[in-house]
Amino acid sequence: MLILGIETSCDETSAAIVEDGRDVLSNIVYSQIEDHKEWGGVIPEIASRLHIEKIFPIIDKCLQDANKTFADIDAISVTNKPGLIGALLIGVNVAKTLAWVHKKPLIPVNHLFGHVYANFIDSDLKPPFICLLASGGHTQIIEVKAYGDMEILGETIDDAAGEAFDKVARLLNLPYPGGPHLDKLAQTANDKSKYKFPISKVPACDFSFSGLKTAALRLKEKITSADPKEWEENRANIAYAFQDCVARTFHKKINEAIERTGLNKIVLAGGVAANSGVRSLFKDSFPAEDLAFPSLKYCTDNAAMIAAAAFFEKENQIKPNEKLDFEVYSRV
Ligand code: KG4
Ligand code: ZN
Protein backbone atom coordinates (compact mmCIF):
# COMPACT_ATOMS: atom_id res chain seq x y z
CA MET A 1 0.00 0.00 0.00
CA LEU A 2 1.48 3.34 -1.10
CA ILE A 3 0.74 6.29 1.17
CA LEU A 4 1.54 9.95 0.50
CA GLY A 5 2.32 11.69 3.80
CA ILE A 6 2.11 15.44 4.44
CA GLU A 7 3.65 17.17 7.48
CA THR A 8 3.35 20.89 8.29
CA SER A 9 2.84 20.96 12.08
CA CYS A 10 5.71 23.30 12.93
CA ASP A 11 8.70 24.56 10.93
CA GLU A 12 9.32 21.71 8.48
CA THR A 13 7.33 21.41 5.26
CA SER A 14 7.51 17.80 4.19
CA ALA A 15 5.97 15.22 1.85
CA ALA A 16 6.86 11.54 1.55
CA ILE A 17 5.76 8.35 -0.16
CA VAL A 18 6.06 5.21 1.93
CA GLU A 19 5.18 1.63 0.99
CA ASP A 20 3.52 -0.57 3.64
CA GLY A 21 4.73 1.65 6.50
CA ARG A 22 8.38 0.66 6.22
CA ASP A 23 9.89 1.43 2.81
CA VAL A 24 10.47 5.09 1.99
CA LEU A 25 10.29 5.79 -1.76
CA SER A 26 10.83 9.52 -1.26
CA ASN A 27 10.93 11.96 1.64
CA ILE A 28 11.36 15.67 0.93
CA VAL A 29 11.87 18.01 3.91
CA TYR A 30 12.15 21.77 3.67
CA SER A 31 13.42 23.08 6.99
CA GLN A 32 12.48 26.67 7.80
CA ILE A 33 15.26 27.01 10.41
CA GLU A 34 17.10 29.68 8.43
CA ASP A 35 13.87 31.70 8.11
CA HIS A 36 13.22 31.74 11.88
CA LYS A 37 16.81 31.92 13.13
CA GLU A 38 17.04 35.68 13.55
CA TRP A 39 14.08 35.62 15.99
CA GLY A 40 15.55 32.77 18.05
CA GLY A 41 12.41 30.65 17.69
CA VAL A 42 9.56 29.71 15.36
CA ILE A 43 7.29 32.62 14.37
CA PRO A 44 3.88 30.98 13.64
CA GLU A 45 2.80 33.50 10.98
CA ILE A 46 6.06 33.07 9.03
CA ALA A 47 5.78 29.28 9.35
CA SER A 48 2.26 29.28 7.85
CA ARG A 49 3.25 31.52 4.95
CA LEU A 50 6.27 29.37 4.11
CA HIS A 51 4.19 26.17 4.25
CA ILE A 52 1.79 27.70 1.67
CA GLU A 53 4.72 28.64 -0.57
CA LYS A 54 6.54 25.30 -0.33
CA ILE A 55 3.93 22.57 0.01
CA PHE A 56 2.92 22.05 -3.64
CA PRO A 57 6.46 22.12 -5.12
CA ILE A 58 7.48 19.67 -2.37
CA ILE A 59 4.61 17.29 -3.13
CA ASP A 60 5.49 17.47 -6.86
CA LYS A 61 9.14 16.71 -6.13
CA CYS A 62 8.15 13.89 -3.79
CA LEU A 63 6.07 12.22 -6.56
CA GLN A 64 8.85 12.77 -9.09
CA ASP A 65 11.57 11.32 -6.85
CA ALA A 66 9.46 8.21 -6.22
CA ASN A 67 8.63 8.06 -9.94
CA LYS A 68 4.89 7.93 -9.10
CA THR A 69 1.73 9.83 -9.98
CA PHE A 70 -1.47 10.25 -7.97
CA ALA A 71 -2.87 7.26 -9.85
CA ASP A 72 -0.33 5.06 -8.00
CA ILE A 73 -1.14 6.43 -4.52
CA ASP A 74 -3.53 4.33 -2.37
CA ALA A 75 -4.15 6.88 0.40
CA ILE A 76 -3.11 10.33 1.60
CA SER A 77 -2.14 11.03 5.21
CA VAL A 78 -1.60 14.27 7.08
CA THR A 79 -0.67 15.52 10.54
CA ASN A 80 -3.73 17.14 12.14
CA LYS A 81 -2.42 17.44 15.75
CA PRO A 82 -0.62 18.68 17.80
CA GLY A 83 1.18 21.72 16.43
CA LEU A 84 0.80 25.35 15.39
CA ILE A 85 -2.82 25.80 14.29
CA GLY A 86 -2.06 27.93 11.22
CA ALA A 87 0.71 25.56 10.13
CA LEU A 88 -1.46 22.45 10.60
CA LEU A 89 -4.29 24.07 8.63
CA ILE A 90 -2.11 24.39 5.52
CA GLY A 91 -1.19 20.69 5.42
CA VAL A 92 -4.69 19.52 6.32
CA ASN A 93 -6.44 21.68 3.72
CA VAL A 94 -3.98 20.64 1.02
CA ALA A 95 -4.47 16.97 1.98
CA LYS A 96 -8.27 17.27 2.04
CA THR A 97 -8.23 18.97 -1.38
CA LEU A 98 -5.94 16.33 -2.92
CA ALA A 99 -8.00 13.50 -1.40
CA TRP A 100 -11.20 15.00 -2.78
CA VAL A 101 -9.82 15.78 -6.25
CA HIS A 102 -8.09 12.40 -6.68
CA LYS A 103 -10.79 10.40 -4.80
CA LYS A 104 -8.33 8.90 -2.30
CA PRO A 105 -8.88 7.81 1.30
CA LEU A 106 -7.47 10.32 3.81
CA ILE A 107 -5.83 9.35 7.11
CA PRO A 108 -5.37 12.02 9.83
CA VAL A 109 -2.30 11.34 11.98
CA ASN A 110 -1.22 12.38 15.49
CA HIS A 111 2.27 13.83 15.00
CA LEU A 112 3.50 12.31 18.29
CA PHE A 113 2.53 8.82 17.20
CA GLY A 114 4.26 9.64 13.89
CA HIS A 115 7.52 10.01 15.83
CA VAL A 116 6.94 6.58 17.41
CA TYR A 117 6.21 4.95 14.02
CA ALA A 118 9.44 6.47 12.60
CA ASN A 119 11.04 3.44 14.23
CA PHE A 120 9.27 1.08 11.82
CA ILE A 121 10.96 2.68 8.80
CA ASP A 122 13.68 0.43 7.34
CA SER A 123 13.18 -1.95 10.26
CA ASP A 124 11.22 -5.05 11.24
CA LEU A 125 10.38 -3.71 14.72
CA LYS A 126 7.11 -5.04 16.13
CA PRO A 127 5.08 -4.10 19.22
CA PRO A 128 4.98 -4.50 22.19
CA PHE A 129 7.68 -2.04 23.32
CA ILE A 130 8.26 1.05 25.43
CA CYS A 131 8.94 4.28 23.56
CA LEU A 132 10.60 7.37 25.00
CA LEU A 133 9.44 10.27 22.84
CA ALA A 134 11.44 13.46 23.35
CA SER A 135 10.85 16.36 20.99
CA GLY A 136 10.76 20.16 21.08
CA GLY A 137 7.24 20.24 22.51
CA HIS A 138 6.76 16.86 24.23
CA THR A 139 8.48 14.34 26.47
CA GLN A 140 6.54 11.15 27.10
CA ILE A 141 6.97 7.48 27.81
CA ILE A 142 4.51 5.48 25.73
CA GLU A 143 3.67 1.80 26.02
CA VAL A 144 3.06 0.56 22.48
CA LYS A 145 0.94 -2.52 23.16
CA ALA A 146 0.02 -3.26 19.54
CA TYR A 147 -0.19 -1.37 16.23
CA GLY A 148 -2.50 1.58 16.95
CA ASP A 149 -2.76 0.74 20.67
CA MET A 150 -0.64 3.12 22.75
CA GLU A 151 -0.83 4.17 26.38
CA ILE A 152 1.02 7.19 27.78
CA LEU A 153 2.74 6.03 30.97
CA GLY A 154 4.16 9.41 31.91
CA GLU A 155 5.09 12.82 30.57
CA THR A 156 6.73 16.09 31.46
CA ILE A 157 4.94 18.22 34.01
CA ASP A 158 6.61 21.39 32.69
CA ASP A 159 9.16 21.82 29.85
CA ALA A 160 9.87 19.30 27.11
CA ALA A 161 13.43 17.95 26.91
CA GLY A 162 13.99 19.64 23.51
CA GLU A 163 12.80 22.95 24.90
CA ALA A 164 15.32 22.63 27.78
CA PHE A 165 18.08 21.84 25.25
CA ASP A 166 17.15 24.91 23.21
CA LYS A 167 17.00 27.24 26.25
CA VAL A 168 20.28 26.03 27.77
CA ALA A 169 21.89 26.27 24.32
CA ARG A 170 20.86 29.91 24.27
CA LEU A 171 22.61 30.43 27.64
CA LEU A 172 25.68 28.97 25.96
CA ASN A 173 25.30 31.50 23.09
CA LEU A 174 24.54 28.78 20.53
CA PRO A 175 22.28 29.42 17.50
CA TYR A 176 18.65 28.25 17.27
CA PRO A 177 17.58 25.44 17.41
CA GLY A 178 20.19 24.77 20.04
CA GLY A 179 19.83 21.00 20.63
CA PRO A 180 22.16 19.80 17.83
CA HIS A 181 24.68 22.63 18.51
CA LEU A 182 24.76 21.81 22.23
CA ASP A 183 25.29 18.14 21.32
CA LYS A 184 28.33 19.07 19.17
CA LEU A 185 29.76 21.39 21.84
CA ALA A 186 29.35 18.70 24.55
CA GLN A 187 31.46 16.34 22.44
CA THR A 188 34.42 18.71 22.88
CA ALA A 189 34.27 18.68 26.72
CA ASN A 190 37.73 18.28 28.28
CA ASP A 191 36.60 17.76 31.89
CA LYS A 192 33.44 15.68 31.98
CA SER A 193 33.20 15.57 35.77
CA LYS A 194 33.75 19.27 36.45
CA TYR A 195 30.01 20.02 36.74
CA LYS A 196 27.08 17.79 37.62
CA PHE A 197 23.37 18.62 37.56
CA PRO A 198 20.95 16.59 39.72
CA ILE A 199 18.11 14.53 38.19
CA SER A 200 14.65 15.89 39.10
CA LYS A 201 12.76 14.00 41.78
CA VAL A 202 9.41 13.82 39.94
CA PRO A 203 7.99 10.33 40.64
CA ALA A 204 7.17 7.36 38.37
CA CYS A 205 7.40 7.88 34.59
CA ASP A 206 6.86 11.66 34.68
CA PHE A 207 9.57 14.21 33.90
CA SER A 208 10.44 17.77 34.88
CA PHE A 209 13.09 19.86 33.15
CA SER A 210 12.37 23.39 34.36
CA GLY A 211 14.54 22.93 37.50
CA LEU A 212 17.45 21.79 35.34
CA LYS A 213 17.05 24.83 33.11
CA THR A 214 17.07 27.12 36.15
CA ALA A 215 20.10 25.30 37.61
CA ALA A 216 22.00 25.97 34.37
CA LEU A 217 21.02 29.66 34.52
CA ARG A 218 22.10 29.95 38.19
CA LEU A 219 25.41 28.26 37.39
CA LYS A 220 26.03 30.73 34.58
CA GLU A 221 25.24 33.69 36.88
CA LYS A 222 27.51 32.32 39.60
CA ILE A 223 30.46 31.63 37.30
CA THR A 224 30.25 34.82 35.23
CA SER A 225 29.95 37.08 38.27
CA ALA A 226 33.13 35.54 39.73
CA ASP A 227 35.16 35.03 36.55
CA PRO A 228 33.68 35.46 33.01
CA LYS A 229 36.74 33.72 31.57
CA GLU A 230 35.90 30.56 33.48
CA TRP A 231 32.49 30.51 31.78
CA GLU A 232 33.97 30.88 28.31
CA GLU A 233 36.56 28.18 28.96
CA ASN A 234 33.98 25.73 30.33
CA ARG A 235 31.05 26.08 27.96
CA ALA A 236 31.70 22.58 26.56
CA ASN A 237 31.96 21.07 30.06
CA ILE A 238 28.68 22.70 31.06
CA ALA A 239 26.99 21.52 27.83
CA TYR A 240 28.25 18.02 28.64
CA ALA A 241 26.93 18.16 32.24
CA PHE A 242 23.50 19.31 31.04
CA GLN A 243 23.28 16.66 28.30
CA ASP A 244 24.47 13.98 30.70
CA CYS A 245 21.75 14.94 33.20
CA VAL A 246 19.05 14.63 30.49
CA ALA A 247 20.46 11.25 29.38
CA ARG A 248 20.55 9.95 32.98
CA THR A 249 16.99 11.17 33.51
CA PHE A 250 15.82 9.27 30.42
CA HIS A 251 17.66 6.18 31.59
CA LYS A 252 16.08 6.31 35.07
CA LYS A 253 12.57 6.83 33.69
CA ILE A 254 12.92 4.03 31.14
CA ASN A 255 13.92 1.70 33.96
CA GLU A 256 10.73 2.75 35.82
CA ALA A 257 8.72 1.91 32.68
CA ILE A 258 10.45 -1.46 32.30
CA GLU A 259 9.55 -2.29 35.89
CA ARG A 260 5.96 -1.15 35.45
CA THR A 261 5.22 -2.93 32.17
CA GLY A 262 7.50 -5.96 32.33
CA LEU A 263 8.58 -5.09 28.77
CA ASN A 264 12.27 -4.85 27.94
CA LYS A 265 12.20 -3.66 24.34
CA ILE A 266 13.10 0.05 24.29
CA VAL A 267 12.63 2.50 21.46
CA LEU A 268 13.62 6.19 21.30
CA ALA A 269 11.86 8.78 19.16
CA GLY A 270 11.69 12.53 18.46
CA GLY A 271 14.35 15.18 17.81
CA VAL A 272 16.16 14.60 21.11
CA ALA A 273 16.56 10.91 20.22
CA ALA A 274 19.19 12.20 17.76
CA ASN A 275 21.35 13.26 20.73
CA SER A 276 24.71 11.49 20.82
CA GLY A 277 24.94 11.47 24.65
CA VAL A 278 21.47 9.91 25.01
CA ARG A 279 22.21 7.34 22.32
CA SER A 280 25.53 6.30 23.80
CA LEU A 281 24.20 5.96 27.37
CA PHE A 282 21.36 3.77 26.09
CA LYS A 283 23.72 1.70 23.90
CA ASP A 284 25.99 1.14 26.92
CA SER A 285 23.09 0.23 29.22
CA PHE A 286 20.85 -2.09 27.21
CA PRO A 287 21.53 -5.07 24.94
CA ALA A 288 21.54 -4.07 21.26
CA GLU A 289 18.69 -6.50 20.45
CA ASP A 290 16.42 -4.73 22.99
CA LEU A 291 17.09 -1.22 21.70
CA ALA A 292 15.96 0.72 18.61
CA PHE A 293 16.40 4.30 17.37
CA PRO A 294 15.14 5.79 14.12
CA SER A 295 17.94 6.83 11.78
CA LEU A 296 18.89 10.47 12.41
CA LYS A 297 16.89 11.85 9.46
CA TYR A 298 13.68 10.26 10.81
CA CYS A 299 14.18 11.56 14.40
CA THR A 300 13.35 15.18 13.56
CA ASP A 301 10.14 16.19 11.80
CA ASN A 302 9.48 14.51 8.44
CA ALA A 303 6.51 13.25 6.43
CA ALA A 304 7.82 9.67 6.06
CA MET A 305 6.92 9.00 9.70
CA ILE A 306 3.41 10.37 9.05
CA ALA A 307 2.91 8.04 6.08
CA ALA A 308 4.32 5.14 8.14
CA ALA A 309 1.94 5.90 11.04
CA ALA A 310 -1.01 6.10 8.61
CA PHE A 311 -0.30 2.60 7.28
CA PHE A 312 -0.42 1.09 10.77
CA GLU A 313 -3.51 3.13 11.72
CA LYS A 314 -5.33 2.84 8.40
CA GLU A 315 -8.59 1.90 10.13
CA ASN A 316 -8.87 5.68 10.89
CA GLN A 317 -9.20 6.44 7.17
CA ILE A 318 -11.93 8.62 5.75
CA LYS A 319 -13.15 6.99 2.56
CA PRO A 320 -13.56 9.06 -0.66
CA ASN A 321 -17.38 9.15 -0.32
CA GLU A 322 -17.27 10.27 3.33
CA LYS A 323 -17.29 13.82 4.73
CA LEU A 324 -13.83 15.39 5.15
CA ASP A 325 -14.74 17.32 8.27
CA PHE A 326 -12.00 16.49 10.79
CA GLU A 327 -10.32 19.41 12.57
CA VAL A 328 -6.81 20.49 13.53
CA TYR A 329 -5.80 20.66 17.22
CA SER A 330 -2.89 22.54 18.76
CA ARG A 331 -2.79 20.09 21.69
CA VAL A 332 -3.73 16.46 22.19
O1 KG4 B 1 10.87 16.14 16.95
P2 KG4 B 1 11.35 17.47 16.54
O3 KG4 B 1 12.08 17.62 15.23
O4 KG4 B 1 10.21 18.52 16.48
C5 KG4 B 1 9.12 18.55 17.35
O6 KG4 B 1 8.14 17.82 17.08
O7 KG4 B 1 9.26 19.29 18.36
O8 KG4 B 1 12.28 17.98 17.74
C9 KG4 B 1 12.94 19.20 17.72
C10 KG4 B 1 13.76 19.31 18.99
C11 KG4 B 1 14.43 20.67 19.15
O12 KG4 B 1 14.24 21.11 20.48
C13 KG4 B 1 15.89 20.36 18.85
O14 KG4 B 1 16.79 21.24 19.51
C15 KG4 B 1 16.00 18.95 19.39
O16 KG4 B 1 14.81 18.32 18.99
N17 KG4 B 1 17.16 18.22 18.83
C18 KG4 B 1 18.20 17.79 19.59
C19 KG4 B 1 19.13 17.20 18.71
N20 KG4 B 1 18.62 17.28 17.42
C21 KG4 B 1 17.41 17.90 17.54
N22 KG4 B 1 18.39 17.88 20.92
C23 KG4 B 1 19.54 17.38 21.40
N24 KG4 B 1 20.49 16.80 20.61
C25 KG4 B 1 20.33 16.69 19.28
N26 KG4 B 1 21.28 16.11 18.52
ZN1 ZN C 1 8.03 16.45 15.94
Concatenated DSSP letters for 97-139?
HHHHHHT--EEEEEHHHHHHHGGGTTS---SSEEEEEE-SS-E
pLDDT for 161: 98
Alpha-carbon dihedral angle through residues 156, 159, 161, 162, given to the nearest 10 degrees: 140
Ligand 1 atom, smallest distance to 83 CA = 6
Residue 8 CB–ligand 1 contact under 6 Å:
no
Residue with the nearest Cα to atom 22 of ligand 1?
A: 179
Ligand nearest the Cα atom of residue 303: 2
Q: How far is CA 46 from the centre of its chain?
A: 21
Residue 114 CB–ligand 1 contact under 6 Å:
no
Ligand nearest the Cα atom of residue 136: 1
What is the whole-number distance in angstroms between the Cα of residue 224 and the centre of ligand 1? 28
pLDDT for 150: 95
Q: How far is CA 287 from the centre of its chain?
A: 24
The CA distances from residue 255 to 139, 238, 250, in Å, are 16, 26, 9
281-327 tens-digit pLDDT: 999 999 999 999 999 999 999 999 999 999 999 999 999 999 999 99
Residue 82 CB–ligand 1 contact under 6 Å:
no
74 Cβ contact partners less than 8 Å away, ≥ 6 residues apart: 1, 2, 3, 104, 105
Cα–Cα dist 65/67, whole Å: 5
CB 322 within 8 A of CB 99: no
Residue 277 CB–ligand 1 contact under 6 Å:
no
- pLDDT less than 50: residues of the chain: none
Residue with the nearest Cα to atom 10 of ligand 1?
A: 136
Q: Which residues of 145-155 are buried (b: 16+ CB within 10 A; e: fewer)?
A: eebeebeebbe
Mutate to test the pocket of ligand 1, among 119, 132, 135 (most ligand atoms within 8 A of CB): 135
Cα–Cα dist 263/285, whole Å: 15
Mutate to test the pocket of ligand 1, among 36, 113, 140, 165 (most ligand atoms within 8 A of CB): 165
* Residues whose Cβ atom is located within 5 A of ion ligand 2: 135, 301
Alpha-carbon dihedral angle through residues 170, 114, 246, 38, given to the nearest 10 degrees: 0
pLDDT for 40: 86
Residue 21 CB–ligand 1 contact under 6 Å:
no
pTM of the model: 0.95
What is the whole-number distance in angstroms between the Cα of residue 243 and the centre of ligand 2? 20
Residue 304 CB–ligand 1 contact under 6 Å:
no
Q: How many CB atoms sit inside 10 A of residue 92's CB?
A: 23
